[in-house]
Structure 1
Amino acid sequence: MSGTMKQVVLASYAKGNPKPSDFRIEQVPVPEPGEREMLLQTLYIAVDPLIRFSLDEKLLSGASRMDLGAVMVGPTVCKVVASNHPDYSPGDFVEGRTAWAEYAVVAPDQSDYRGPPRKLDPSLAPVSTALGALGGPGQTAYEGVVNVGRLKAGETIVVSAAAGAVGSMAGQIAKALGARAVGIAGGEAKCKALLDLGFDAVADYKEPDFADQLKAALPEGADVYFENVGGDVTLAVLPLLKRGARMPMCGFIAYYGVGMEGPGPDHLPGFYRHIMAKGLEIKGFAGIFAGQKGLDDIAGWIKEGKVRFPESLVDGIDAVPEAFSSVFSGHDHVGKLLVRIAPET
């Protein structure tokens, strides 16, 4: 396939929260697939916050780090344009980890730890859900609620960043299990959206009476805290956790742009007191462990109408740097934020 395409490369390492200027749009030739390779047209790019860990000049955690000038990589849904691999045919829809580019060449036999691109059946659900409810975020939410949090019917869970892709799924999964779900989000629109998704109560962390809202929403405390944020939000939740509460730690976005030591004051002594006094069980996990069982359960709940998959879309590869940066600087999107690069047909 001849012609040119656009791609997003790393222009500078992020200092604190990423900025659009940390990235650069380049025009390059469309690549050609080699032996046992395939050419993919990118349909959707997921601007996942965990990508932030690869943008530090000095690697602080995780196993990846982008080099300056390198093409950004992340979760995508693509359509096979040309294939020299026997397992894939032109017209197939796939989900995988590919370049932030309009087209990408992939060698399925040499894929990363996630394995070769996953084929999608567009008759089961919109293919975009492979990056949300029926993909990594859905599996992460399932893992945290069901396997790490061990939430039971009749218990109460409180979810931070509840309007995001993982948080919105975590609350809905909790409801499907017969539990009570309280969501924490920023802004009236997001809080209303959570109530529309079935959350029992919400608290707006942007309001000055946030702590009082949270106490009112958790009159008997919480059995599980699905942690996505850290910072002042977590400090407000800790006193409201029941003795023996479980805390699946999925993320800490308040600190993603902070080094190994953040600004004071040091809240660690108080945190330790809560852990000891209440016998809290805290477990960090990277998600995407639920596997096929989690996806099957979520698909069943979607079919039964117990779980919905809110998505927010912005269009065009030129919008990727701004969309990714907005994840850290505040936005009004609810559910999974995706950049639509090309139409599905």
Structure 2
Amino acid sequence: MLSSIEEKRKPIHLKSKLRKRNPKMVKGRKWILKQHFSGEPKIDDFELVEEELPELKNGEIMFRSLYISVDPYQKPFSASNPVPSTMIGSSVAVVEKSKHKGFPEGAGIVLYAGWVERGIVNPDEKLSFLGGTWKYPKIKGLSPSMMLGACGMPGLTAYFGLLRVCEPKSGETVVVSGAAGAVGSMVGQIAKIKGAKTIGFTGSDEKVKTLKDIGFDYAFNYKKISVEDALKESAPQGVDCYFDNVGGDMSTSVLQNMAQGGRVSVCGAISTYNGGKPSKCVDLLPLFLFTELKIEGFVVGRWEKEHEAGLRELARWINEGKLKAEETVVEGFENTPQAFLGLFDGSNTGKMVVKV
């Protein structure tokens, strides 16, 4: 099982015109967001900067990132940060130098320091609304990149967002939008583990095949079939749980097909991030009333104290062959912005990461 996962991790090679670093100096590189996004993200919104790192203070560590995570949430959430500033995000890294007893040299860590190749942080400080710095347990057979995907923020988002918000029961019908993405692909598989019927919407025939390969009962290319027609075929009795990654017109259509007492977990709205029209769900308020729907948004940091327990269960399911972890790997820290842009044109299947 694990070898098949590794075979799917085919790196994408992109060209770079950056100068080589001077190996004699301890320098850090990071990507700066020069200006807030206007419409679709552009390469010109970013700048790669290099700086000489200072001496460590007591309680600090120097880290070197192994993989950088690019995620759709980084676009809307970066809007509240001043510019220019380090682009937000997480990475899986190794501790190179340490003046912190809890984080020895060589330790593997996950941290929310942003798009940073090498830098210095105080692990006791919270770096982001999603968390700070934590040591991840080394689990045999799993790539460290999994701590950014199936066993990281996307996997935990799927795990807690589905199980704690939607609470699917065996035999119920679960619909997932953005189903071939890092979160959506995990949601469908977790729902299957819990005995639910799963329906996924995605944007290409290739991704439809991927969803069926990982166990979705139904998968539809929304560009070729309307949501209404797809649900007439796959959920004639209505939708019990809807895990929403997309928003917009797709969500309006699914909400109109919810079953009595349905639950909706609002995780994201990627269809609106580049200026798309928001859902007209406010027009459905009478429907919500009489079908007694529960609609709840969430941020995965709500369950921060339970993250390690969730991670270990996700890892167990992967090792048991119950979860298949899809990854799209982009080679080279210099290509982080290109990878980020790829999230919005459907370049990724599963989790998109940058191999530093």
TM-score normalized with structure 2 length = 0.86
In structure 2, C-alpha distance between the alignment counterparts of 1:111 and 1:277, rounded to whole Å: 43
Match of 1:106 in 2: 121
Of residues 281, 290, 293 in structure 2, which corresponds to 1:280?
A: 293
For the residues of structure 2 that align with 1:320 and 1:8, how far apart are their CA atoms?
A: 8
Q: Report the Cα offset of residue 5 of structure 1.
A: 4.2
Match of 1:70 among 82, 85, 97: 85
Could you tell me which of 130, 139, 146 is aligned with 1:129?
146
Contact between 2:342 and 2:348, CA under 8 Å: does it hold in 1? no
CA distance in 2, matches of 1:228, 1:263: 15
Secondary structure of the 2:136 match is strand
Aligned counterpart for 2:352 among listed residues 317, 337, 345: 337
Distance 1:115 1:319 in 2: 25
The one-character-per-residue Cα deviations of 1:296-344 (angstroms, maximum 9, x if unpaired) are 322222222111211110011221112112223x223111110111xxx
User: Are the structure 2 counterparts of residues 115 and 71 from structure 1 closer, same or farther at C-alpha, using a change threshold of 3 Å?
Assistant: closer
Which residue is 1:62 aligned to? Answer: none
Structure 1 residue 235 displacement after superposition: 2.0
| RMSD (CA atoms) | 2.1
- Residue identity in the other structure for 2:180: A
Cα distance in 2 for residues equivalent to 1:248 and 1:333: 23
Change in CA separation of 1:220 and 1:49 when aligned onto 2, cut-off 3 Å: same
Structure-1 separation of matches of 2:282 and 2:87: 39
C-alpha contact 1:73 1:97 (8 A) present in aligned 2: yes
Stretches of structure 2 lacking an aligned partner (at least 5 in a row)? 1-23
Is it true that 1:308 corresponds to 2:324 in the alignment?
yes
What whole-Å deviation, never above 9, does each CA across 1:105-148 have from its counterpart, x for those lacking one?
A: 11112233624322331536221111111111111111122111
Instruction: Give the distance between the partners of 1:294 and 1:315, measured in 2 at CA.
Output: 29
Map of 2:340 onto structure 1 = 324
Consecutive unaligned residues in structure 1, runs of 5 or more: 57-64
Identity %: 36
Letter in 2 for 1:274: L
Distance 1:73 1:321, change over 3 A: same
Q: Secondary structure of 2:86's partner?
A: coil
Give the ranges of 4+ consecutive aligned residues of structure 1 lying more than 6 Å apart after TM superposition.
none
- CA deviations over 1:247-298 (Å, ceiling 9, x no partner): 011111222345xxx858x834532133123221111111242533322322
Q: Which range moved further: 213-222 or 74-83?
A: 213-222
Matches within 5 A, 1:85-96: 85-96=100-111
Kindly provide the amino acid, as one letter, of the partner of residue 271 in structure 1: L
Tell me which of 246, 251, 258 is aligned to 1:241.
258
From 67, 91, 100, give the equivalent of 1:44: 67
Query: Which secondary structure state, in structure 1, belongs to the residue aligned with residue 89 of structure 2?
Result: strand
Deviations 1:200-229 (A, max 9, x none): 111112225454234322232211000111
**Match status 1:140 vs 2:163:** no
Matched residue type, 2:58: E
SS at match of 1:203: strand
What is the letter of the counterpart of residue 142 of structure 2? A
Candidates 7, 25, 41, aligned match of 1:18: 41
Contact 1:46–1:339 (CA under 8 A) maintained in structure 2: yes
> Is the CA contact (8 Å cut-off) linking 1:79 and 1:94 kept in structure 2?
yes
* 8 Å contact from structure 2 (residues 112, 133) kept in 1: no
Count of residues paired in the alignment? 328
Q: Is structure 2 residue 312 aligned with structure 1 residue 296? A: yes
Q: Distance in 2 between matches of 1:142 and 1:42?
A: 25
